Amino acid sequence: MTKIGLEIHCQLTKLESKLFCSCKANYREFEPNHNICPVCMGLPGSLPRLNQKAVESATSIAMALSCETPEKIAFFRKNYFYPDLPKNFQITQLNVYGDMSVGGEGYVSVEDKKIKIRRIQLEEDPGRIIYEGASERTKITLVDYNRAGTPLVEIVTDPDFESPRQVRIFLNILSDLLENLGVAEPGLEGAMRADGNVSIEGGNKVEIKNIGSFHDLEKALHFEITRQQSLFERDIEIAQETRHWDDRRKITVSSRSKEEDQDYRYFLENDIPWVKIDQSTRDALKENMPESISSKKDRYVEKFDIAPQVAEIIASNRYYSKLFENSYSNSNAKDIANLITTDVIGFIDTKEKQQNSKITSQHLSDLIDAINSKTITRNSAKVALQEIMKTGKDTKIILNELDLGQVSDSSEIDTIISQIFEDEKQAVIDAKERPETVNFLVGKVMQKTNGKADPVKTLELIKLKLGQ
């Protein structure tokens, strides 16, 4: 049996400042090494000062993942030497002397399985190492410390996953949850990274590091499982080691033997006092937490009679749920939900498009009103949405400009039908013999009218002409 565990690193990108100094948490907008100070550079004599908001955000994450949250938390020094770590130690958390990190045990449900969260800890992100050219042959390595000290939450799971597919579902659930909490933007480059550890029955645990995207993680896990199985079948020992994912060659490569906790010489970070998170603070955090995705989904299903799959798609995405929540009136909620999941999603399927989209909740309400009053067809609404997305103009103006008004006039539609009957003689014969093929003729009318003909009326008139 395959066992996979994960360590997920998620930056708290919604915070103003770094974890222990007042440099910006948003390091992405700076020139290299322009978002640094004596604290995050580890200069002698500098002292860390803990970002209280980071503790609160991390505690909210722990609560959302049903983790135990201790009354007091402590920080530790994890000692190791690497050029991206200016202090030569990372300030992080450790639970070997009891629960001292922001979150203890919790779980996430993936399909019918409960994936156990072992712990959640708050720590600082190191800087970034940039290789000029391929990393194995480069002569020049650059270090950018802008990221050093950025607040990072590490979420560690038990090895409960049995397949890479389960991992992917879990990561999607987790990233939706973090986004819904309003503490992170997992879509930002480098904002969410994961290490995986994999073992097959009878073999040692292998850790895979250096994976930049969920897509690559899935590929790396697949590769690693196959590699281990092939070693096992040939009776070769699977070494306990750390491997990294070579994105270019699409394989995992051995990088070093795995360090154990004792190799890091952990000790208490005495420059930061123990932090008390009393019951009233935790109650307040819980109260201020946004509605969870699952409760949102249940509410949509119960209150508006929306199909569970549709409700889930909308509830799990912050952008879609905001559009939905601001646009529905009780009478058109179902129509709005369907418009979002059938059409809006088709055009606005990436974070970037969501950010640039000019569609507002008002547009969606107006479009549904126009469809329901038969001013436009469903098809025209789709055309209008594409234009609204780009220009953000008022719905009525767009409908006029693109001449999308529905053609409901019977004689006008009838003229077009006569023309189609002339052009498609075989299809007419087919439709007479087999009524289920009539949609072909309806489609032709739609094509001819750029989707503007009233579909119900069109079908009625065609059937009349066919003598059905």
Burial class (CB in 10 A: 0-12, 13-18, 19+), 189: exposed
Contact status: 148 vs Zn ion (CB under 5 A): no
- The CA dihedral of 187, 213, 54, 83, to the nearest 10 degrees, is -130
Query: Which residue number, 45 or 133, has a Cβ lying nearer to Zn ion?
Result: 45
What residues from 35 to 54 belong to the interface with Zn ion (CB under 5 A)?
A: 37, 39-40
Provide, rounded to whole angstroms, the least separation between the CB of residue 18 and Zn ion.
Answer: 5
Contact status: 23 vs Zn ion (CB under 5 A): yes
Provide, rounded to whole angstroms, the least separation between the CB of residue 36 and Zn ion.
Answer: 6
Residue at 357: amino acid letter:
S
Provide, rounded to whole angstroms, the least separation between the CB of residue 150 and Zn ion.
Answer: 10
Contact status: 289 vs Zn ion (CB under 5 A): no
Total residues at interface with Zn ion (CB under 5 A): 5
Query: Which residue number, 27 or 214, has a Cβ lying nearer to Zn ion?
Result: 27
Provide, rounded to whole angstroms, the least separation between the CB of residue 144 and Zn ion.
Answer: 13
Query: Which residue number, 37 or 130, has a Cβ lying nearer to Zn ion?
Result: 37
What residues from 3 to 22 belong to the interface with Zn ion (CB under 5 A)?
A: 21
Query: Which residue number, 23 or 217, has a Cβ lying nearer to Zn ion?
Result: 23
CB 121 within 8 A of CB 92: yes
Query: Which residue number, 37 or 275, has a Cβ lying nearer to Zn ion?
Result: 37
Residue 210 falls in which region: left (phi positive, over 0), alpha (psi -120 to 50) or beta: left
Tokens of 54: 């980071």
Dihedral sign of CA atoms 209, 210, 214, 218 in order: negative
- The number of helices, as runs of H, and strands, as runs of E, in the chain is 17, 15
Provide, rounded to whole angstroms, the least separation between the CB of residue 39 and Zn ion.
Answer: 5
Query: Which residue number, 7 or 84, has a Cβ lying nearer to Zn ion?
Result: 84
- Distance from C-alpha of 114 to C-alpha of 105, rounded to nearest angstrom: 12
CB 69 within 8 A of CB 275: no
CA nearest neighbour of 21 among 5, 40, 2 = 40
Provide, rounded to whole angstroms, the least separation between the CB of residue 188 and Zn ion.
Answer: 20
Q: Using CB under 5 A as the criterion, which residues of the chain lie in contact with Zn ion when the complex forms? A: 21, 23, 37, 39-40
